[in-house]
Structure 1
């Protein structure tokens, strides 16, 4: 992995952990309403960048491009809904590591088996270290019933992470869709897909109070969600999935610290010790 790719992915990891903190803080809000507000706000905030890109480059999306963006949107929608449900039941420093560990390991395995990517022995060792560290973090204490429910949603979220990681890699490489258009199309698609559910009679009355209580979190996530993934998509254009996906897991360290310090989730020392395994894995992958 090049130094530029490493910087992109590590920056993405910090942004990703930060917006997950915001989502966890809003976990008691209605999940559909909160995710819809984030997607709608993100669509508005990122419109100038997407439209500017189209105007400057003269890019025109084909029907095939629109189709693969729609597929990505569906996978990301499942991911966001499951993740928000997981945060309703479990700690940030439990759900996040489980989800982030399951996804990249599966993505790397699929990339190696089906996309002819061949990391060397050091790369494979790094992937295994990252996975081991992530799962140690997720099980650093004896889980409660609520934790087990959160872990279940975290595992399901990880399946969607693996699916959209592999899918989106093909979208930006094989189908040559610009990362910013894939990202923006996903936000717009999520806002449109959730609008019927968010605007039902029952949920419509929740929009104003959710916005008033979580305005800062909505706007913060609206900026950080696309930014964190845009950096990864750019890295995907010239780096293999089997190295990009695991290195993103440095965000787990950030999430554990945020959960321990800002959310008082406890068990910080043991979870940080387990997270040190991830650092070793990241360094191994970066040097492979």
Structure 2
């Protein structure tokens, strides 16, 4: 991997942590996520319509992924309403590859190597340390089920997208239509559930959420571009440095409390992810 590609992937990791931070800092986290979802639709359409329309057998995968993204976003919002970015993000992001690896072992034909088993064990230790901090620091314990729910949803749509992209044969077009389905489903269901009053009316909230959507797409687009120049596993592993960026943003920008235990837990989670991805 060249230095330029390496730095691009690190930038993608920062953008992923950044869009989560923008949703976290917004006055209405649910409203911010709705705006993000609304702006995902034209992005997905612009890319999807530039490619051949997917075959009929692809659409069930697209819809399934869109529905799963609804739960991912909902759990993530509920977790951010109850906990710090530097606590929620590492759990939600770090637990997902562990769940994918475990489910893959029982439900998929993909083989798991020895270092991946080690990675799962290290990941489990890191998640336990991060979750333990919620109890020792007297934080809102209700963030844990929502953060873990977000991780399970992430693992689910990761598996769905992996299989759906294989059926599609065109990963970029497939993901574009997932963006559209995700945006339509989350926006429609949330507005029916919460009402139009959930949408912020100030320009700042709309600007931040729109920028978060652009950062979300930018993070993914850079990763896809990097995968054309470097091994997929290496790119995927480097993206998980977003966990460290989220912890630093929470500490330096939001003034969240940084303990030695939280810092060590974040490093252990990153180490575990690297072991499962390399």
TM-score range, shorter-chain basis?
Answer: 0.7 to 0.9
Number of positions where the alignment pairs a residue of Structure 1 with one of Structure 2: 272
Q: CA distance change for structure 1 residues 13 and 177 in 2, over 3 Å: closer, same or farther?
A: farther
The structure-2 alpha-carbon separation of the partners of 1:69 and 1:233, relative to structure 1 and needing over 3 Å to count, comes to: farther
1-structure distance, mates of 2:99, 2:242: 18
C-alpha distance in 2, partners of 1:101/1:123?
14
TM-score by length of 1: 0.79
Deviation at 1:233, TM superposition (A): 6.6
Q: 2:80 touches 2:88 (CA, 8 Å); kept in 1?
A: yes
| Alpha-carbon distance between aligned partners in 2 of 1:251 and 1:202, rounded to the nearest angstrom | 31
Structure 2 match to 1:116: 109
The structure-2 alpha-carbon separation of the partners of 1:186 and 1:283, relative to structure 1 and needing over 3 Å to count, comes to: closer
Cα deviation for residue 220 of structure 1 reads 1.7
CA contact (8 A) 2:54 2:174 kept: no
Q: Which residue matches 2:171?
A: 179
Q: CA RMSD in A?
A: 3.3
Query: C-alpha displacement at 1:159, in angstroms?
Result: 1.4
* TM-score between the two structures when normalised by the length of structure 2: 0.81
1:144 aligns with 2:138: yes
- Decide whether aligned partners of structure 1 residues 280 and 3 sit closer, same or farther in structure 2, where only a CA change above 3 A counts: farther
- Is contact 2:32-2:200 (8 Å) kept? no
Unmatched 5+ residue regions in structure 1? Answer: none
Q: Do residues 267 (structure 1) and 258 (structure 2) align? A: yes
Superimposed CA distance per residue, residues 209-257 of structure 1 (whole angstroms, 9 cap, x where no aligned partner): 1x52312321222112233345667859x857xx887664322111111
Counterpart position of 1:16: 16
Map 1:102-113 → 2, pairs under 5 A: 102-113=95-106
C-alpha distance after superposition, 1:106-157 (max 9, x if no partner): 10111233323234323322333234234423434524352x1111211111
Alignment of 1:1-288 (within 5 A): 7=6, 12-26=12-26, 28-29=27-28, 31=30, 33-52=31-50, 54=51, 59-140=52-133, 142-144=136-138, 146=140, 148-173=141-166, 175-197=167-189, 203-207=195-199, 209=201, 211-230=202-221, 239=232, 248-281=239-272, 284-285=275-276, 288=278
CA distance 1:140–1:213, shift in 2 (3 Å): same
For residues 97 and 281 of structure 1, the distance between their equivalents in structure 2, rounded to whole angstroms, comes to: 12
Q: CA deviation at 1:85?
A: 1.1
Q: How far 1:266 sits from its partner (Å)?
A: 0.7
User: Aligned partners of 1:262 and 1:213: how far apart in 2?
Assistant: 18
User: How far 1:172 sits from its partner (Å)?
Assistant: 1.3
Alpha-carbon distance, 1:166 to partner: 1.1
Q: Gapped runs of 5+ residues in structure 2?
A: none
Show CA shifts across 1:22-75 (max 9, x none). 11112x4161x33221111122245433333x1xxxx23112112210110000
**SS class of match (1:89):** coil
* SS of equivalent residue, structure 1 residue 105: helix
Moved more, 252-261 or 121-130: 121-130
Looking at structure 1, the residues matched to 40 and 11 of structure 2 have their Cα atoms a distance apart, in angstroms, of: 19
